[in-house]
Structure 1
Amino acid sequence: MIAQLGMYDRPGTTEANDHFYSMFRKALGRGPQALDRTTPLWDGWRSPDLLLSQTCGLPYREELHEITHLIGAPDYRNPGCPPGYYNSVIVVRADAKGQRLEDFHGQRLAYNEPESQSGWGAITTYAAARDVRFGEHIGTGAHVNSARAVHDGRADVACIDVLSWRLMRRYDAYTENLREIGRTEPTPATPYLTGRQNDPEEIAAALETAIAQMGAETADILSIYGLSRVPHDAYMTLPVPPKP
């Protein structure tokens, strides 16, 4: 069996994720002894042995809805978002002259991956609504790399999911040299998945128990305060953006 919580697993959250998973495993009564941090996420998501993982909304609607069960999405208590939803923060360097995305027309966008709702899908929708086009698209592989690219002057704009941004602001000092110029519309947050061989209701119940019992300190570190049963259709009705 494979259990992963890799979406927000980073220095500062590792121990909290381990504790959260241990509470889930205890509630479920089975599962790997520890989280898998070596299997690539796409391999884990596609594995017939998947017990628990978390993905982004775009991979779910492009492919994973066909081979996994949707469990639900965490309630991150994101400002301006319903439970189980999130959005993205558009960031630029603190000394940049523009105050809104329209001021960065023709400039360089850093994005994490083309399969990311928060880093690519959200900004394409937001920019199109404002008739903004970027002069260059720079793939970085991770939200933290996109923020660093803007900080270092290799890009001018990045779009980072609100929870990743919250963690960066907490743990990464260089973000003091970045500032926010906008937020995208809320969309369903990063969902929990399980393999088709598992009972999704059983997995959901174990997650709800783990969230209730993991303690306030772990909840605050991970910003997880509940499990929202966001429906399948809420993910599937969003557009699939064109590739960079």
Structure 2
Amino acid sequence: MRRAALPMYDWPEIRHQTEAFWNRLRAGLDLPALTHPVEMDDLLAIWRDPETLIADACRGTVDLDLIGTQRIIGRRSYDGVPGGEGTTYRSALVAREGQTAKPGASAVLPAGLDRMRLAANSVDSRSGWLSIAEDAQLDDTDVLWTGAHRASIRAVADGRADVAAIDCRSWQLALDHEPAARGLTVIGWTAPRPGHFFMTGTETADPVADALSRRLVEAGQYAPETEDA
């Protein structure tokens, strides 16, 4: 099924921006409007469909081989976002209290992290779980699985968890649009890692895939062959 979705930062408050971004990419091409998957099963179906026209996904999903029918046509830019640079991002470690930490060249971890209850969106999320588990060497940790970064922020704010790792762009969106974020502070950062990919299904015609890749670069994103910073 020919579908297009950009779910990674598809917050309702900025949906008009996401729609405008896709409309710029598909201008002059016979491509459908965006769909907005809500359930994980719907998202997995889009990621695994060789007819998908465009989708974005996190590096953890790719590393864990959850996608086998897509090819990368671009990499998301994190320029201009605190904690991001080029195609790499850091996750902010957010808590209800603590001294605000600035991102560094490597992980900036608060003391006692291994004794805190962590809210994480999913086991395959590079930004919400895999990065902090690797940086802090968390093996036996109390984790509240929430299903989404926004839900993790709310879980920390209302006391169900002590800390959450939120990728820097999602954290910026939360500061702008999520009331629960206003009572939280950044107490640490993960080390920088490769960010999200833009992909198209293996059955997308080469001229369409090439056109989308070119337009991603024109729209301020990075080409697929760009080296990670």
TM-score normalised by the shorter chain: which range applies? 0.7 to 0.9
> Relative to 1, partners in 2 of residues 1:80 and 1:19: Cα closer, same or farther, differing over 3 Å?
closer
* SS of aligned partner of 1:182: strand
How many residues are aligned here?
213
Alignment counterpart, residue 222 of structure 2, candidates 228, 231, 243: 228
- Which stretch has the larger CA shift, 155-164 or 10-19? 10-19
Q: Deviations over 1:180-233 (max 9, x none)?
A: 011111111111010012234332013234x2xxxxxxxxxxxxxx22135499
Match status 1:86 vs 2:89: yes
Q: Which amino acid aligns with 1:158?
A: A
How many angstroms apart in 2 are the aligned matches of 1:106 and 1:38?
35
- What runs of 5+ residues in structure 1 fail to find an aligned partner? 212-225, 235-244
Q: Deviations over 1:12-63 (max 9, x none)?
A: 2101111111111105x1211x211147211101012100010010111222
How many angstroms apart in 1 are the aligned matches of 2:212 and 2:66?
17
Please give the root-mean-square deviation of Cα atoms over the aligned residues, in Å: 2.4
CA contact (8 A) 1:107 1:134 kept: no
CA contact (8 A) 2:78 2:85 kept: no
Residue in 1 that maps onto 2:215 = 206
Structure 1 runs (4+) deviating above 3 angstroms are 78-82, 96-100, 132-135, 230-234
How many angstroms apart in 1 are the aligned matches of 2:191 and 2:171?
16
Q: Which amino acid aligns with 1:139?
A: W
> Relative to 1, partners in 2 of residues 1:111 and 1:88: Cα closer, same or farther, differing over 3 Å?
same
How big is the shift at 1:67? 1.8
How many angstroms apart in 2 are the aligned matches of 1:51 and 1:18?
15
CA contact (8 A) 1:108 1:134 kept: no
> Relative to 1, partners in 2 of residues 1:204 and 1:30: Cα closer, same or farther, differing over 3 Å?
same
How big is the shift at 1:101? 2.5
How big is the shift at 1:65? 5.6
* SS of aligned partner of 2:85: coil
CA contact (8 A) 2:217 2:223 kept: no
Matches within 5 A, 1:28-177: 29-32=29-32, 34-38=33-37, 40-64=42-66, 66-77=68-79, 78-79=81-82, 81-94=84-97, 101-128=110-137, 135-177=141-183
> Relative to 1, partners in 2 of residues 1:38 and 1:82: Cα closer, same or farther, differing over 3 Å?
closer
Give the structure with the higher percent helix: 1
How many angstroms apart in 2 are the aligned matches of 1:72 and 1:38?
21
Matched residues, percent identical?
32
CA contact (8 A) 1:188 1:230 kept: no
* SS of aligned partner of 1:113: coil
How big is the shift at 1:64? 5.0
Residue in 2 that maps onto 1:15 = 16
| TM-score, normalised via structure 2 length | 0.84
> Relative to 1, partners in 2 of residues 1:51 and 1:173: Cα closer, same or farther, differing over 3 Å?
same
Q: Which amino acid aligns with 2:115?
A: G
